[in-house]
Amino acid sequence: MTAPLASQRILLGVSGGIAAYKSADLVRRLREAGAEVRVVMTAGAARFITATTLQALSGHPVRDSLWDASAEAAMGHIELARWATRVLVAPASASTLARLAHGHADDLLGTLCLATTAPLSLAPAMNHRMWSHPATRANLELLLARGAQLIGPGSGDQACGETGPGRMSEPADIVASLSGAGDAGVLAGRRVLVTAGPTFEDIDPVRFVGNRSSGKMGFAVAAAAVAMGARVTLVAGPVALATPSGVERVDVRSAAQMHAAVFDRIAGQDLFVAAAAVADYTPAEVAGSKIKKAEGPMQLELGRTRDILAEVAAASPRPFVVGFAAETDHVLDYARGKLQRKRLDMIAANRVGVAGSGFEADANTIELLWPEGGTTLGPAPKADLARALLAEVARRMGGGA
C-alpha cells in the first residue's frame, strides 16, 4: 500500500508557542506517512524545543536564520523554497499568522513563504481570546483568500489554564488532513439528503421574492458527504453551480417545490442537512401576467411557507437533523433558540451581512451547536467547513472515531 504522503517534500515551519512540543511527534508522523521533511524554526520556537531534537527526527539539519553564512553562500533559502512541495506551519502562532498575512520577510520562515510556489498549510495555536480577536480573524481572511489551507485549531484546555478554541490540532489529524484521508469512509453506507441555495417565490412571470444564498455551503456539504462514503441526494434551489460528482441532484424553485422534493425522499434517510435558505413568506397570489407600474405604493400580501426543517425534525421515524441559522446579530442566542424550539440534533450558525463571510462568500465561520455543547469551525473555505461539520456529525451519529 502506497504511503499517503509518498513523494511529498514538506517544509515544516515551527513558530514560538508551547504547542511546539508537538512538532517532534508531527515530524515523526509525516515521515511515517512517506514524506521527506525539513524543518525551519523561528527564534521563538527555539525557546520551546531544540533544533537537535527536530534534526534527529527529520534526518536533516534544521535552519533557523537568514544569516547562516554556510547555507546562504548558495542562496540556501531560495533552494529550500524551490525544494518544497508543501509548506506547513505548525504551530502557527498569532504573530506568525500576522507576519505571513502582511508579507514580512525579515526572518527565514517569512522569506521562504514568500519565495515558494508550494501550497501553504497552517495549524494555528494560541489562547482562545487571541484566536477570536478581530486582528487574527482579518489576518486569516487574507491568508485564506490567497489559498492557504487551515488545519484546526481544536478546542479544549489550554496551557494558560483557560478553555476554548485555539489548541493546535493533534499531529495525527494534521497528517490526515494533508493526506486527504482523515474522514474517508466515516459516512459509508449512510443515506444523506441535503438542501441548498435560495428559493424564489414568484410575484408574477417577471418578478419574485428571493434571497442572496449562493448554495455554495450546501453544495460543499453534498460533495464532502460523497467523499466520506455517503449516498447523497441534493435538493437545490435556483443556483449556478455544477453538480458535485456522485451526487443525485433535484432542482426546485419555490419553497413549496422544495418541501415536496424533500418529503418525497426523506423516508430511509440517515441524515438531513438543511443548508438551503428557504423563504419564510410567499405571495398569497401569483399574477398570471406582468404587474404594470402604477401611481402610488404597491401592496403585496404574503403568506407563511411550510417549515421544512421543523417538519422533518418532528417526523417519526426521522433522520439525524442538522439545521442552519443565518443571522445578522445575536447569532448564538437565535441559533440556540432555533435548536431547542425545533428539536434539532445540531445547528450551524453564521453571521451574514458581513464582508467575506456568509452568503455568496467562499469562506465562512460557523458556530456549530448541539444540545450538550458546541464548537467553532473556521474561518475556513466552505469545503473545509463542510468536511469538519460532517466529521462532527459522524461522531455524534456513532459513525466516526
What is the spatial distance between Cα 379 and Cα 300, in angstroms, rounded to a whole number? 39
From 71, 105, 160, 286, active-site residue: 160
DSSP summary character for residue 206: S
DSSP summary character for residue 226: H
The verdict on whether 113 is a catalytic residue reads: no
Cell of 260: 415536496
Report which of 325, 321, 351, 322 is spatially closest to residue 336, judged by C-alpha positions: 325
For residue 14, list its beta bridge partners: 41
Amino acid at 331: V
**The residue to which cell 410575484 is assigned:** 203
Within 10 angstroms of residue 385's Cβ, the number of other Cβ atoms is 25
**The residue to which cell 519565495 is assigned:** 115
What is the arrangement of strands in the sheet containing 36-41, beginning at the earlier edge strand?
36-41, 9-14, 86-92, 120-124, 149-150
Cell of 227: 467523499
Half-sphere exposure of 195 (CA within 13 A, CB side): 31
What is the spatial distance between Cα 5 and Cα 261, in angstroms, rounded to a whole number? 42
What is the spatial distance between Cα 123 and Cα 334, in angstroms, rounded to a whole number? 31
Q: Are 382 and 357 in contact (CB under 8 A)?
A: no
Q: Provide the annotated active-site residues.
A: 160
